[in-house]
Amino acid sequence: MVPDIDLAWRRGIRPEPPIPVSDWADRHRILPPTSAEPGRWRTDRTPYLRAAMDALSTASPYERVVLMKGAQTGGSEAGLNWLGYIIQNAPGIAMLVMPSLDMVRRNTTVRIDPLIEATPALRDLVAAPRSRDAGNSLFRKSFPGGQLVMTAANSAVGLRSTPVRYLFLDEVDGYPGDADGEGDPVDLAIQRTATFRGRRKIYMVSTPTLKGHSRIKAAFEHSDRRLYHVPCLRCGDMAPITWARIRWPEGRRDQAHLVCEACGGIHHEHEKPRLLAAGEWRATAEGDGRTAGFHLSALYSPWETWAEIAAEHGRVRKDPPRLQVWVNTKLGESWEDQAGDTVPADPLMARREDWGEALPATVAVLTAGVDVQGDRIEVQILGWGRDEEAWVIDYRVLWGDPSGPRLWSDLDMVLQATFPHPAGLDLPVRAAAIDTGGHHTKMAYEFCRTRLARRIWAIKGRGGPGIPVWPRRPTRTNKGKIPLFIVGVDAVKDAVYARLRLTEPGPGAIHFPRRLDAEYFRQLTAERVVTRFERGRPIRSWQPKRDGDRNEALDTFVYAHAALHGLISMGLRLNEEVEGVKEDALRMTFRPSAPVYRSRWLTK
């Protein structure tokens, strides 16, 4: 036993080898078979990550590394390399924080466990997972000299559980504004590193979101703001790869290329590896001397071409909600909040249209949103076409007592109705979302429980940043009998208000029938975004413009929109549905005996 104790003691006082994180990754990291490019890690594949990884090395003078990034750039993989480096080369207590517990569980299964299992240098240092082994679980990995603790940003208990030397804050713009009422989760997590000041390392990585509310953008602004400059292969001028430098011939986005602003030289996609290999990071601000900041767009990604990015821009450029996603994930830039301004009701009412009794020809899918009040049930049915262009098909107020069965029977008849299509088809309501967070919750639960096969879903709206429109999986209520879907209402309202400003038909546009009255439009536009500050952090929320204003038209629109995303989560491809309706309509036109239209999308 004595030799073993002596060996452990010597290992504990041994200085950390001065190896950079990128060198460790090149020597030891093995990507699992589930990766896009399994096998040995090569930093040369993404040379722009070298500086960020090496700034996380224990020999680096930087305490904090900030990576504001686009999608498909390898930022999270750089963080995994750093965790492997910690486990083998510089043991200590490390904490990985993700937006939610579900994301922690998924990340452990999909990323952390494969990192350990596929990399021989780590496999023997972390105990094999066992059902009763607290040292290797979904939330904790123990290794000689340290531990990796994984927690969620919405768990104050997890964030203040233990002092940590290494802190990995992943997708920080998806964190809630407050952790269990105890303050900003980023501040709580960073406070865990206070006892290691001077030796701590903090890695913040995320795609940005809204301007003025983006944590990663604020952190980047306080750094030295580095941009990755690449040389022109024609004249040698060094400059970052920006969207303004991506050009293409008229109507040929598939031929997108990079243009040098100094000499006009053209660089094609196959030359990107040479550009990246010869690139270098250049600081554009002085910073505080302790924070290294990196901005990296998807234009640098070896896994996504300039043509693909340009083509996607062409599809979403007229639809603000989808364009925001493109700006955030492709350019790695924050988005100017357009939903903060109020939308007036009168111009919307002036845009009402006549399309007759049948559905508009381009509608392919119908969804409904239902709001339950003390003396009535309100229902809105939306029709959806290509790229989420929407038509308000029906809006009804069903008066009566929701505590009894008659009113719910009336609602059932509305949701079972079919609507004639101009080509002779009858379209049903494919899904409905019923709010259970207000009046008569038990009756709403019971109504949905017996109609799950018809995709009539019990929902509850929840505001706040980072909450998706539709959850990956429902929670369970009423003793586990009824699935309850938590809907991110703020995300939907942002999309709706941005699209209300579109005045031309096309992606995301919203159409209103002539029969809607002024009260509908007052309710649809009854809210606005309010920003308040709590403990110095901006908190953004949707509030009524005036106290007492009714907003059922907005709420039911939001719920019907959420129901569409519920269908999409089950496999619906909206644009393919539109094409399917067109094809079946043509068959019925030329063959009167053709069968009744059946959706190509199969219920799962």
Structure tokens at 451: 């109609």
pLDDT(275) > 60: yes
Strand 537-544 versus strand 527-534 pairing type: antiparallel
pLDDT in tens, 508-525: 999 999 999 999 999 999
In this prediction, residues 142-161 reach a mean pLDDT of 86
pLDDT of residue 582 exceeding 70, the answer is: yes
Domain boundaries, the chain: 12-226+282-331, 347-590
Query: Looking at the predicted structure, is the pLDDT value of residue 7 above 50?
Result: yes
Q: What is the pLDDT of residue 596?
A: 35
Residues 6+ apart with CB under 8 A from 270: none
Read off the pLDDT of each residue in 161-178 and give the average, rounded to a whole number. Answer: 90
212, pLDDT greater than 90: no
Q: Which one has a higher pLDDT value, 12 or 190?
A: 190
* CA distance readout (Å), 442 to 372, 404, 411, 435, 478: 11, 11, 16, 11, 9
Question: 347-590 belongs to which CATH class?
Answer: alpha beta
Task: Please give the structure tokens belonging to residue 331.
Answer: 């350019």
Answer with the residue of higher pLDDT: 4 or 57.
Answer: 57
State CA 56 to chain mean position distance: 26
Tokens of 575: 């644009």
Coil vs helix vs strand at 52: helix
The percent of residues in the chain predicted with pLDDT above 70, rounded, is 90
pLDDT in tens, 111-124: 999 999 999 999 98
- Chain centroid offset of residue 598 CA: 32
Give the mean pLDDT of the chain.
88
Question: Using H for helix, E for strand and C for coil, what is the string for 542-592?
Answer: EEECCCCCCCHHHHHHHHHHHHHHHHHHCCCCHHHHHHHHHHHHHHHHHCC
Q: What is the pLDDT of residue 580?
A: 83
**Is the pLDDT at 593 greater than 60, yes or no?**
no
3-state secondary structure 269-318: HHHHHHHHHCCEEEECCCCCCCEEEEEECHHHCCCCCHHHHHHHHHHHCC
For residue 534, what are its two tokens? 């709590």
Tokens of 384: 């959806």
Instruction: Say what the pLDDT of residue 603 is.
Output: 31
Tokens coding 549: 């204003």
Determine the average pLDDT of the residues in 132-155: 84
Mean pLDDT, residues 190-206 taken together:
92
pLDDT per residue as tens digits for the range 453-501 = 999 999 999 887 778 899 988 887 766 678 999 999 999 999 999 999 9
CATH for 12-226+282-331 is: 3.40.50.300
Which pLDDT score is estimated for 604? Answer: 29
pLDDT digits (tens, 9 = 90+) for 31-67: 999 888 999 999 999 999 999 999 999 999 999 999 9
**In this structure, what DSSP letter does residue 513 have?**
B
pTM: predicted TM-score of the whole model, two decimal places? 0.83
Question: 67-101 burial by CB neighbour count: b if 16+ within 10 A, else e?
Answer: bbbbbbbbbbbbbbbbbbbbbbbbbbbbbbbbbbb
Q: Do domains 12-226+282-331 and 347-590 have the same CATH topology?
A: no
Residues 6+ apart with CB under 8 A from 402: 372, 373, 374, 375, 376, 377, 408, 439, 440, 443
Q: What is the pLDDT of residues 399-410, one digit of tens each?
A: 999 999 999 999
Task: Please answer whether residues 564 and 558 qualify as being in contact, where contact means their C-beta atoms are separated by less than 8 angstroms.
Answer: no
- What are the tens digits of pLDDT across the range 553-581? 999 999 999 999 999 999 999 999 998 88
Residue 359: both structure tokens together = 């559905």
CA nearest to 459, candidates 447, 323, 53: 447
For the ranges 92-106, 327-341, 590-604, the one whose mean pLDDT is highest? 92-106
- The predicted pLDDT at position 463 comes to 86
Give the separation between CA 527 and CA 515, rounded to whole angstroms: 23
